[in-house]
Amino acid sequence: MSRQDAVRALRGRLLWFVGDPYGVGAAAHRYVEDGLLVIADGLIRAAGEARALLPALPAEVEIIDHRPHLIMPGFIDAHIHMPQTQVIASYGAQLMEWLNKYTFVEEQKLAQQGHAEKLSRFLLDELLASGTTTAAVYCSVHEKSAEAFFAESHRRNTRMIAGKVMMDRNAPAALTDTAESGYAESKALIGRWHGKGRQLYAITPRFAVTSSPEQMAASQRLVAEHPGCFVQTHINENRAEIALARELYPMAADYAGIYEDYGLLGPKSLLGHCIHMTKREWRAFAEHGAVAVFCPTSNLFLGSGLFDWDRARREGVKVALATDIGGGTSYSMLRTMAEAYKILQLQGQSLSAFEALHAITLGNAVALGLDHLIGSFEPGREADIVVLDPAATRAMAHRLETARDLAEELFVLVTLGDERNVVATYVMGELAFRCSTN
């Protein structure tokens, strides 16, 4: 019997969500103080009280004891750039200058032999070390960048969404494709990788500023031909970007109208940032079921603005959370949620620990339409798991001496936590990362 076929169980404090705490409060989560998570064939078989589940397990079942740590579904990151891992922490620019001064320079290196493989290995290592088991990933304009990322993800059996960037103008010549080459290369990648193992494809016109009308039409063709694929792009991040997009597409109703006109707004469309949205744009998102992707650390780092989560909720728009490396400044979804909390506080909005942890597990799974596969411990879900030590740092341990209940403990984890809290990460029930200090 292979390890993938073996039954095993993880013991510890189990926490997962069955609904959105924003709407239903405590009924949205399940917490088991001494819990057992039973895994078979890479899937969740059962989750519940250890005392109830242990007697039914055969004697030969491997039980991995993570007590007193917290066991949760793996984190999900809805927007991250593989080519930008060496752009993170680049000083002193807002979006358009930052792209030209740093990002486009770095992305040209993806043409070099072996560079895409190096960055793909690094990114997946860093994600797993941060407890992130699924991400929506932008590769570079080079077809081989997406090929390298998918190959590395497939080797590790991680469930990833990724795509080759399509970009045929307003970028260095070495970083541009054409409407037809972008279409052909994307189509070939879809054929090789979408649905292979756990890999999923995202049709990826970078944003309206760098795609001509011809390329947007080519993206529309891809969406029509491959309705199971995702779409990922950017919108309303920076006022200068918005002005340029409107100048390039003067016939569109607004920025969202550009994507709408080309059939790129839909329930599988992930649009990063959504900061400076008009009322009509919010309504268009709601009408088409498009997902607004909130990228807290990059929005602060690039001085882009504050995402209005309450407005998205009022308008009925799905929201996903993301690190947006390399404009973002942390690979950790815990650190990302700490910054989300502060952004909302500045607008008189609140974010509880339960809401934050729901957002980066089941919430993001629902937004991505993958909640039937990932994001919870319901039976049949894929066993992507993160084990967390809420007292991993001296400051956190010191603070937790006065924690009065689970909600307060989790709030400390969300506001002070990062990759140092990750004890272990499992992918389809297999250990993919273990912290050497825990």
Q: What is the pLDDT of residues 92-145, one digit of tens each?
A: 778 778 888 888 888 989 889 899 999 999 999 999 999 999 999 999 999 999
At 1, the pLDDT band (50, 70, 90 cuts) reads: very low
The pLDDT value recorded for residue 197 is 98
392-410 mean pLDDT: 97
At 5, the pLDDT band (50, 70, 90 cuts) reads: low
At 256, the pLDDT band (50, 70, 90 cuts) reads: very high
> Whole-number mean pLDDT of the chain?
96
The pLDDT value recorded for residue 420 is 98
At 8, the pLDDT band (50, 70, 90 cuts) reads: very high
6-15, 19-28, 157-166, 195-204: least confident range = 19-28
Which of the two residues, 326 and 424, has the higher pLDDT score?
424
| Res. 2: pLDDT tops 50 | no
4-28 mean pLDDT: 90
177-190 mean pLDDT: 98
Classify domain 7-74+376-434 at the CATH topology level: Urease, subunit C; domain 1 (2.30.40)
The pLDDT value recorded for residue 93 is 74
Q: What SS3 string covers the chain?
A: CCCCCCEEEEEEEEEEECCCHHHHHHHHEEEEEEEEEEEECCEEEEEEEHHHHHHHCCCCCEEEEEEEEEEEECEEEEEEEHHHCCCCCCCCCCHHHHHHHHHHHHHHHHHCCCHHHHHHHHHHHHHHHCCEEEEEEECCCCHHHHHHHHHHHHHHCCCEEEECEECCCCCCHHHCCCHHHHHHHHHHHHHHHCCCCCEEEEEEECCHHHCCHHHHHHHHHHHHHCCCCEEEEEECCCHHHHHHHHHHCCCCCCHHHHHHHCCCCCCCEEEEECCCCCHHHHHHHHHHCCEEEECHHHHHHCCCCCCCHHHHHHHCCEEEECCCCCCCCCCCHHHHHHHHHHHHHHCCCCCCHHHHHHHHHHHHHHHHCCCCCCCCCCCCCECCEEEECCCCCHHHHHHHCCCCCHHHHHHHHHHHCCHHHEEEEEECCEEEEECCCC
| Res. 356: pLDDT tops 60 | yes
| Res. 4: pLDDT tops 80 | no
Classify domain 75-368 at the CATH topology level: TIM Barrel (3.20.20)
What pTM did the predictor assign?
Answer: 0.97
The pLDDT value recorded for residue 3 is 45
Q: What is the pLDDT of residues 368-390, one digit of tens each?
A: 999 999 999 999 999 999 999 99
At 271, the pLDDT band (50, 70, 90 cuts) reads: very high
Q: What is the percent of the chain where pLDDT is above 90?
A: 90
Q: What is the percent of the chain where pLDDT is above 70?
A: 99
CATH 2.30.40.10 region(s) of the chain? 7-74+376-434
Q: What is the pLDDT of residues 199-216, one digit of tens each?
A: 999 999 999 999 999 999
